[in-house]
Structure 1
Amino acid sequence: MTATDTRAPAAAAPDAGRGTRPGWIAVAVWAAGIAAVFTVGWYLRRAGLATEDALPPLHARARSHPLTWRMAPAIVAAAALVAVLPWAASRLRWRTLLPAAWAGAALWAVALAACDGWGALARPLDAPTEYPAGLAQVRPDPLEWLRTFTERLGGYTTHVRGHPPLPTLALFALEKAGLPGTGWAAAFVIASGASAVAAIAVTLRCVAGERAARAAVPFLVLAPLALWVATAMDAFFLAVAAWGTALAAVAARRAGPVSAAVAAVAGGVLLGSLPYLSYGLLPLFAVPLAVLLLSRPRPRVLACLVAGLVVVPAAFTLLGFWWPDGVRATLDTYLVSRGSAQRSYAYFLFGDLAVLGLLTGPAVAYALPRAAGALWRAARTRALSPAAAVALPACAALLGVVVLDLSGVTKGEVERIWVPFAAWLVAAASLRAAGPVPGAGSRWWLAAQAATALAVQALVLSPW
């Protein structure tokens, strides 16, 4: 495929004017699919066939009294962001827009979580099943803990034994840096997760042009997945993947050999850490591969990226943690557990996709036919438009979700597991409309995105 010049800030707006009927059909399917999955889940639970979750397909429960006045700060934040984001995305300087988007995403996540009180920001990490509860076993000798991680796996907390060692070690490092406790851990997770908005915008600017990247920023900030940025560790995984991909894209664009090499190695180190954060992140490599396909880096940049990729696996192997053994041990504990392994494969095959729909919102559903059309035209004409360059990473993330869903490993609890994948899909929401990019028409879809998050927050009580 021959790419057109997608790097100039004046790149054409994402494909528009192709008709709105497919988009509205997709929104109808989105809404009907979510309603059907929750209805079936209610029936299965009432029949005693799905008892692992109180509100399948979510690992959550319905609120007995939906939130009312306590939602006011989140509603105000949503209204302000809907009003300001399109203007900011089109008017602010790029270097100003990125930290502003980061701050906006953090504000949105915090405003949603604070509906349950400020203590709700750290409360998910206070659970005895979470990573901080396992730090006591790390403190005496972190190297010994790492060497014996696999053989002692059964004695760890649920999330520690369900993941490789790196998430726990990251919180241990935060503690050693003088920031102990779940309050600092929550701040770290929220700040890092919100920063992914800037990372994805940087990536899109490299592969699709600045105009397309600016169009995506408001949707990235107001994504419904912010519900689980505060506070699930998967938001940190999202940040690592997003910044690794962004650095790889920047390296492909840099003319200076030294700066390109540094960016490539740094990006490789971050991407190489993904399998050591979560075993389920392997399919997410489809996204950086799509970005590399779009950016076509020089051979020396690829060599530096590969050199960075092997750093974390080599370090963990030398320190005594053999990744395949970790996979096998975690799978064994998963199969003997009475949790997600007991859930219905057939139900969650569809239920997990419905949860993805909640994380991404109706604007993404509306845009998906346009994204598919942009990719189809790019394949047919062998000319890459900005819209196709936005759509390809989004479709790569969707492919990763489908692979995990079909595998049956992710049966339930995917509202947090899908976060690193869903953010890339949200970027495709910018492909949904004709007219200026970003323009006033985007505010209606931003409002729909915010309303989705507010509705879930009001009606659902999640442990994350």
Structure 2
Amino acid sequence: MTLTGARRRAAAGRGGGRTHGRYGRAAVAVWAAGIAAAFAAGWYLRRAGLATEDQLPPLHARVRERPLTWELLPAAVFAAAAVAALPALAARLPWRAVPALAWAGSAAWAVALAAGDGWGALAAPLDAPTEYPAGLAQVRPDPAEWLRTFTDRLGGYTTHVRGHPPLPTLALWALERAGLGGTGWAAAVIVAAGASAAAAVAVTVRCVAGERAARAAVPLLVLAPLAVWIATTMDAFFLAVAAWGTALLASAARRDPPPRRAGVLAAGGGLLLGSLPYLSYGLLPLLAVPLAVLLLARPRRPVLAALGAGLVVVPAACTLAGFWWPDGVRATLDTYLVSRGSAQRSYAYFAAANLAVLGLLTGPAVAHALPAAATALRDAGGALRGAARARAVPPAAAVAALAAAALVGVLVLDASGVTRGEVERIWVPFAVWPLAAASLHGPPARRWLAAQAVTALAVQALVASPW
């Protein structure tokens, strides 16, 4: 009996699912082997005296003398409840409640993990003498003068201040001026902002791939292993700025907002995205993600004009205030090369091991979804090229494009050689976007949610990080 066209397609779909399953399992095996190899090679290099900057390469961390056990019980209970309830909540709640669910869940997960070291651990990383708050004393007398002379006096600043543009330090100074001084308030803002990125990514996915894909992504965004480093590293704040800038752009690029509202959204997105290179020099490659949104959505010209107007605000303001970005890049690179720190690390080792750390942040669910994402991109190549005509990119290809754009940014930054170690924090703004591809598992995907949670719990239990 001859199969009908519909039955042929169904049979092909079942075969494709089995193929993707095999490729996905192979990808998870590569993921696990890559992480194990990175730590094994790091152990060997350290034992040979060739990697002394870090105690646990490729992480800038150490193995705990006593692994956390009962201290992580609240986090484990939260994870179990989230695995059971999040898929249903994300699928059934009205959409307006879903971003709030993503935000609250992500914040609770990050705080629960960090609380395994005690509540004081939330602010403790920011108390280090190398961190941004330690440099605020130099800003307080005259912020304008500090900004104008930032590059000239770079060598006298704390490690993180001199390793970044001036905007992160100015943001903390502004927080202090608003009456929220101290590392406790700074930690609260960083965690709240970093956790909000889960909502921003959900909004972006809804705009470019549809509500179904966004709802499927939310549980995986909440229980992401990268939550270990959301509390508390300043890079979580960078993550929020990048994610919300992209979300505003995606919202403006949709065809339904009124023109005036679309212009405001695009200008706001441009303002946030234009600030990224002034928060961290390494965030420039992350602009590949909003570029992917533009290619997927093909917004109208007024939206592009508003976006452009927003993009130039922060660069123009900093330039007029006396900080010339290219000079900052050169001065920071000079201090980096002459320091006895990251520049002394092995380029060859970290070029490979950095990618293993990215896998640790994104988790096995992303590894399993990558083959399906690659197939979706390949199959939708014609639709992507003809998007201006068809106005329809398959949802799977859209989320895959977001993940691919972030991975391209990671590869560019990794190849540059300026990210030799410490990427568990540097990758945080990039790592959230591959999580969108994990939505290809489809709800409820509870076993993959559980795998993500176990990965985060294992890292928190075994590794003591300065962030």
Q: 2:112 maps to which residue?
A: 111
Other-structure match for 1:367: 369
2:443 aligns with one of 438, 453, 459: 438
CA contact (8 A) 1:53 1:59 kept: yes
2:56 is paired with a residue whose SS is coil
CA contact (8 A) 2:402 2:436 kept: no
Q: Identify the match of residue 269 of structure 2 among 267, 277, 283.
A: 267
Aligned pair partner of 2:407 in 398, 407, 417:
398
Higher RCO (Cα < 8 Å, 6 or more apart)? 1
Aligned mates of 1:310, 1:380 — CA distance in 2: 34
TM-score normalised over the length of structure 2: 0.94
Q: Which amino acid aligns with 2:358?
A: L
How many Å apart are 1:357 and its aligned residue? 0.5
Q: Note the C-alpha offset of 1:237.
A: 0.3
TM-score (normalizing by structure 1): 0.94
Runs of 5+ in structure 1 lacking a partner? 1-14
Residues 189-227 of structure 1: CA deviation (Å, up to 9, x unaligned): 000000001111100100000000101010001000000
Q: Distance in 2 between matches of 1:63 and 1:344?
A: 25
Equivalent-residue separation in structure 1 for 2:18 and 2:298 (angstroms) = 30
Residue 191 of structure 1 pairs with residue 200 of structure 2: no
Q: Deviations over 1:36-78 (max 9, x none)?
A: 1101110110111110000000000001111111111111111
2: CA distance, partners of 1:109 / 1:336: 36
Task: Give the match's secondary structure for 1:426.
Answer: helix
Aligned partner letter, 1:39:
A
What is the alpha-carbon distance in structure 1 between the residues aligned to residue 216 and residue 417 of structure 2?
35
State the secondary structure of the residue aligned to 2:20: coil
Greater Cα offset, 378-387 or 392-401: 378-387
| 3-state SS, counterpart of residue 110 of structure 2 | helix
In the aligned structure 2, how far is the partner of 1:132 from the partner of 1:380? 50
Provide the rounded CA distance (Å) in 1 between the counterparts of 2:84 and 2:167: 40
Residue 457 of structure 2 corresponds to residue 454 of structure 1: yes
1:426 and 2:413 aligned: no
Confirm whether residue 294 of structure 1 aligns to residue 303 of structure 2: no
- Size of the alignment, in residue pairs? 444
Instruction: Tell me the distance in 2 between the aligned counterparts of 1:238 and 1:404.
Output: 16
For residue 449 of structure 2, what is the amino acid of its counterpart?
L
SS in 1 for 2:380: helix
Tell me how far apart the structure 1 counterparts of residues 26 and 88 of structure 2 sit (CA, whole Å). Answer: 29
Q: Which 4+ stretches in 1 moved above 3 angstroms? A: 15-19, 380-383
Structure 2, unaligned runs of 5 or more: 1-15, 385-391
Query: Deviation of residue 384 (structure 1)?
Result: 2.3
Q: Is 1:417 matched with 2:417?
A: no
State the Cα distance separating 1:18 from its structure 2 match. 5.1
Instruction: State how far apart, in whole Å, the 2-side matches of 1:132 and 1:57 are.
Output: 26
Which residue matches 2:157?
Answer: 156
**Cα distance in 2, alignment partners of residues 95 and 60 from structure 1:** 39
| Deviations 1:273-318, CA, capped at 9 Å, x for gaps | 0000000000000000001111110011001100000000000000
CA distance, structure 1, for counterparts of residue 84 and residue 403 of structure 2: 26
Residue 97 of structure 1 aligns with which residue?
98
Alignment partners' CA distance in 2, 1:131 and 1:88: 38
CA RMSD of aligned residues (A): 1.1
Give the distance between the partners of 1:384 and 1:146, measured in 2 at CA.
Answer: 45
Contact 1:348 1:412 in 2 (8 A): yes
Shift of 1:380: 4.6
Structure 1 counterpart of 2:452, one-letter code: Q
Q: 1:463 aligns with which of 450, 458, 466?
A: 466
